[in-house]
Structure 1
Amino acid sequence: MRKHIIAAIQAQAAAEYPKESCGLLLAVGRAQKYFPCRNTATEPSEEFRIAPEEYTAAEEVGEVIGVVHSHPDATSRPSPRDLAMCEATALPWHILSWPEGDMRTVMPSGSVPLLKRPFVHGAWDCWQVCADWYQREWGLEFEAFQRTDGWWELAENASLYEANYEAAGFYRVDKPQRGDMVVMAVGRTAHPNHAGIFLGADPGLPGEDAATFGPGPFLLHHLYGRPSELIVFGGPWLERTRMVLRHRDAR
C-alpha cells in the first residue's frame, strides 16, 4: 500500500476517533485510491457499517480491491466479525489500530471450516452454515438473505425460513434424509427460527469422528453465541423441529 494512501487512512482515523473509521481501497486504472466512507453503525465505537449507496458510489470511481477500518484504542488484531466479513466479501481487509498506528491486512481464505466457527450474525450463523454445506457438498448457491439482529426472537419476523424456503428451491417432507434442512424453534418463541443440516449416521465432515459422539443421526448447526457444531439429532432437538425441508436438487 502506497504511503499517500496510508496517510489518508490515518488522517481519517484521527478525525473519526474515538469512532471506527472506514473506507474502501480502489483500483483506478493502474493507480490505487482510498475512498473514505461514513460509519453508519448504531454503535460506531464498536463496529462499522458502510452504506450501500456509498459502496455503489465507490464502484463508479474504480474497482473495490479492499476494505479498510480502524480499531480505536485496540490492536489491529481482527475480531471474529472482521474475519467473517472478510470471507463474505472475498476481499482483503486492512485494519488500522489508532492511535497506535499499526496496520494489519487479513486475506480471505476462501474456505472456512464448517465446524467451530464463531457466531457472527449475518455472516457466520445457522443459515450460513447450511448454505455453505450445500455449496461445498452439492455445488448449490443461495441468495444471501438479509436478516436483522434479533429476528429469531420477534414473532413478526421469526418466519424467515417459512417465508423463503420455497423460493430457495426447498419443499417439505415428513422424514429427514442426508442433506435435508431441519428447521426448529429455539429460545422464547414457537416460530421456526433455527436450522441445521441432517447428516444421518455418518457426518462426513473433516476432523470429526462419528464414534466420538456415539450412534447418530447427526445434525450440523450453529446456535447464537456458540461455535458451529455437530450434535446427535434426537430428544429435545427432535421436539423443537417444526419443518423438514428437502431441496429439489437433492443428491
Structure 2
Amino acid sequence: MIRLAANLSMLFTEHDFLGRFAAAQAVGFRGVEYLFPYAHAPETLHAALDETGLEQVLFNLPPGDWEAGERGIASLPGREAEFRDSVVEALRYAEALDCPRVHAMAGVLAPDADAQTRAAHRATYVANLRFAAREAAKCHREVLIEPINTRDMPGYYLSRQGQAMAILEEVGEPNLRLQLDFYHCQIMDGDLTRQLERQFERVGHVQVAGVPQRHEPDVGEVHYPALFARLEALGYSGWVGCEYRPANGTREGLGWGREHGLRP
C-alpha cells in the first residue's frame, strides 16, 4: 500500500507553516515531511503532529547558509565541525518528533572544481556520512543521501544514482540509505523502473513530482501508476513524499491521489 506524505515546504503554502499540518490531515495525508524544522521549537512541531495525528517522516539536516546559496555542508572540506554540530541538532529534533530518518544534503561545488577538489569533497563526504550514520544509529535513526539534479541545483555534489550507490558502499553503514526522488532521477538518469529495482534494497524513502515542471505527479512524462505498482510489488513499506509545486493550488491538484487515500 502506498503511503503518501505531504511535503509542507511545497504543499499548502496558502497557509502559514504551522497551519499546513491541519490542511494536510484534512485531505487524507497520513505523514508529513519538509525541508527544515529549525525555525520552530521541537515542542511546537510535536504539538502540531499530536493535534493532527500525522507522522513526521523526514526532514533535512541544517544546510549551512541557505540564503547565501549553500545547499548542505556534508561534502565541504573545512566544515567538519559545523557538520557534526548539525548532526547533533538534527537528531535532537528527530527524537523529539519521533522522526525515523534525516537527510544530509551534500553541498555545492564551484563550477571550476578540478579533480583534486572533487576528491577532497568525496573524502569529506564519506567521513562525515560515516559519523552521521553512527550517531544516528545510537538513537535508532537512518540518514539518507539524495542525488539532486543539476538543472534545479547547479553544482550539487551528488547528482547521479550510480554515484550515490558507490558512496553508500564506501561508507558501509547499514542505516545510511538512499532517498530516491523519481523527479531528480528522471532528469539525470532516466530508466526509472530499472533504477528502482537495482537500488531497492538501499532505498529508505521515495519522493515524487511531475517531470519536467515539478508539478503534480499525474502531469508530465513519468507514468507514476506503473512506478507505484512496482514499488508495491517489490514490497516497499516506506513513505512516498509528495515534493512538488502545485500548478493551481494544492487541494485543486490532489485528484491523482484519490486511489491512495487522498480526499481533495
Taking structure 2 as the reference length, the TM-score comes to 0.28
The higher radius of gyration belongs to: 1
Higher strand proportion (structure 1 or 2): 1
Q: Which has the higher contact order (CA 8 A, sep 6+)?
A: 2
Taking structure 1 as the reference length, the TM-score comes to 0.29
Higher helix proportion (structure 1 or 2): 2
